[in-house]
Structure 1
Amino acid sequence: MHKMTGDDKTMNQSVVIIGASGHGKVVADIVIENGDQVVGFLDDNPNLPEKFIGFPVLGIIDEYQKYLDAKFIVAIGNAIIREKIANKLKNVKWYTAIHPAAVISKLDTVIGDGTVVMANAVVNPGARIGRQCIINTGAIVEHDNKLEDYVHVSVGAKLAGTVSVGKTTWIGIGASIRNNLEICADCMIGAGAVVVKDIKEAGTYVGVPARKR
C-alpha cells in the first residue's frame, strides 16, 4: 500500500495488463492518460487476435515471468478470479491505476497496490482502500471508509462516511451505503440498493432498504 502524496507520480512506467476485455480497455486508457506505456495484454482466451485495442496480446497468463521488468495490473472484474490470478503472480511489481480525472484526497488516504480508480471517482480523507480493488467511474468513497482487498465499488455507487466493506464484496451500480455501517466479506449489493444497517452475513442484498435475497 502507499499513502497518497503530492509526489506520487512515477513517470514512464511499463505496464502489462492481465485481462483483454472491457475492463482491460478502461485500465489501458488509465495507463495512457497517466503517460505510461502499455506493454500488452496477457489472457488465457485462445481466440484472441494478435492485438487487442492496438496493443499486443503477449500470451497466456502463465507467461508473465517473461515480463518481470514491467509492472502488472489485473483487469478482471470478478473478485474471486482477480484474487486467484493476483496470488498466482509471484515476484511481480504492481501498478496502481488512478485516472487523472479521479479526485483523491492526499490527507491520510491509502490506496493498495494493484487497485484501479476510474475517472470522476472521489476518495475522501482518511479512506483506506485495500489491494486489487476497483473504484469504478463516478463512485464515491467518503471519509474514513475502510475497503478490504478485492472490493469492487461499481459505477456511481456512494459510500457515506466511516463505512467498512469486507474482502471481495461487490457494491452494485448506483447503490448507496449509509454512514457508520459495516458490510461483511463476500457480499453482493444489488444495483440501486440502499443499505441502512450492518450486513453481517455473506450473500446478495437487493432493494430499498436492502434485504438478503
Structure 2
Amino acid sequence: MTLSGRSFCSRPFVILGAGGHAKVLLSLLQSIDADVKGVCDPGLAQSSVQSWRGVRVLGGDEVLDGLDPAQVALVNGLGQVVGSNRRKQVFLELTAKGFLFPPLLHSAAWVDSSVLLEAGVQVMAGAVIQPDTVIGANTIVNTGARIDHDCMIGSHVHIAPAAALCGGVKVAAGAFIGAGSTTIQGLTVGEGAIVGAGSTLVRDLQAGHMVLSSPMRIYESKFKI
C-alpha cells in the first residue's frame, strides 16, 4: 500500500509496545487527533498496569488474537535496534494476518505531496522529506531528519534523529542511518549497512558494512564549575 502526502486512517489505533519509541508515536497520534484504542505490552500486562500515559492497556500480545484486522489499525511501537530484527518480524507477521499498519505523519513534519509513504512508515516531528522521494514499508524517519529530493529509501530502514540525506540517495532495506549523520548526494547505502552517528558518508557503502566518525576523546576540563 502506498499513500501520497499526509496519511489518514479512520480506524482506531492499537499501539504495540510501550517503550520510548512508542511514547513518541503516541505523541504523533495525538498531534493528528487520532483515535487510540489502547496499547498492547506484555510487561505492563504482567504488572497489572491498566493505563499507560492516559491510554488503556489492552493486555499482552495475546490480545491481537481477539482483534478484527478489519476494524483496527496497528502502530509498530518497537524501536529499531542495530542487530535486532524484532521490529521487522512483528510487522511482517501481523501484516500476513491481515492487519493494517497505516503510514503516520506528525503534524509538525513537512512532506511534499509527491512523496510516497508505504505501509507502516513513521515520520516524526520536525522531519522534512522533499519531492519525488519514496519511503519503504515499516521505515522510521525520526525526529528532525532531512531527506532531500529523489531519494529512494527501502523497507525496514531507520533514519535516526537529525540525520541528513542529500538528493538522489538510495538506501537499501534494513539499513541504519545514525543520528546527526550526513550522506552526500547520489550515494548508495547497501542492505543492512550502518552509517554511524555524526559521520559523513562521501562514497557508496556496501551491504553489511559500517562507517563510523572519528573516535570520541574525552579530556579533563580546565574550567571550574
**One-letter amino acid of the counterpart of residue 206, structure 2:** K
| 1:155-174 map, 5 Å | 155-174=161-180
Q: Of residues 142, 146, 149 in structure 2, which corresponds to 1:136?
A: 142
SS in 1 for 2:42: coil
Q: Distance in 1 between matches of 2:5 and 2:20?
A: 30
Which residue is equivalent to 1:9? 8
* 1:28 corresponds to 2:26: yes
2:5/2:117 contact within 8 Å kept: no
Q: Distance in 1 between matches of 2:22 and 2:140?
A: 12
1:15/1:95 contact within 8 Å kept: no
Residue by residue over 1:118-161, the C-alpha shift from the partner in whole angstroms, topping out at 9 and shown as x without a partner, is: 01100110100001110011100111111111100011000000
- Which runs of 5 or more residues in structure 2 are unaligned? 215-225
Which residue is equivalent to 1:44? 42
Q: Distance in 2 between matches of 1:198 and 1:62?
A: 43
Q: Distance in 2 between matches of 1:175 and 1:206?
A: 10
Which residue is equivalent to 1:88? 93
TM-score normalised per structure 1: 0.90
1:14/1:37 contact within 8 Å kept: yes
Q: Distance in 2 between matches of 1:172 and 1:49?
A: 34
Percent identity of paired positions between Structure 1 and Structure 2? 27
Aligned length, in residue pairs: 205
| Alpha-carbon RMSD | 1.7
| 1:34-113 map, 5 Å | 34-45=32-43, 46-47=46-47, 49-68=49-68, 69-78=71-80, 80-89=85-94, 90-107=97-114, 109-113=115-119
* 1:201 corresponds to 2:203: no
Q: Are residues 47 and 78 of structure 1, via their aligned partners in 2, closer, same or farther at CA, if it must alter by over 3 Å?
A: farther
Q: Distance in 2 between matches of 1:9 and 1:63?
A: 25
Q: CA deviation at 1:50?
A: 2.0
**One-letter amino acid of the counterpart of residue 9, structure 1:** F
Q: CA deviation at 1:164?
A: 0.7
**One-letter amino acid of the counterpart of residue 86, structure 2:** I
Which residue is equivalent to 1:187? 193
**Of Structure 1 and Structure 2, which has the larger fraction of its residues in strand?**
1
Q: Are residues 55 and 106 of structure 1, via their aligned partners in 2, closer, same or farther at CA, if it must alter by over 3 Å?
A: same
Which residue is equivalent to 2:126? 120
**One-letter amino acid of the counterpart of residue 23, structure 1:** H
- Which runs of 5 or more residues in structure 1 are unaligned? 209-213
The farther-off stretch of 48-57 and 197-206 is: 48-57
1:150/1:169 contact within 8 Å kept: yes
TM-score normalised per structure 2: 0.85
**One-letter amino acid of the counterpart of residue 112, structure 1:** E
SS in 2 for 1:63: helix
Q: Distance in 2 between matches of 1:160 and 1:137?
A: 17
Residue by residue over 1:52-82, the C-alpha shift from the partner in whole angstroms, topping out at 9 and shown as x without a partner, is: 1121221222421323311001111126111
1:145/1:162 contact within 8 Å kept: yes
Q: Distance in 2 between matches of 1:3 and 1:97?
A: 10
Q: Are residues 138 and 185 of structure 1, via their aligned partners in 2, closer, same or farther at CA, if it must alter by over 3 Å?
A: same
Q: Distance in 1 between matches of 2:57 and 2:129?
A: 33
1:172/1:190 contact within 8 Å kept: yes
Which residue is equivalent to 1:175? 181
Moved over 3 A (4+): none
Q: Distance in 2 between matches of 1:41 and 1:70?
A: 12
2:112/2:130 contact within 8 Å kept: yes
Q: Are residues 203 and 44 of structure 1, via their aligned partners in 2, closer, same or farther at CA, if it must alter by over 3 Å?
A: farther
SS in 2 for 1:94: coil
The farther-off stretch of 62-71 and 82-91 is: 62-71
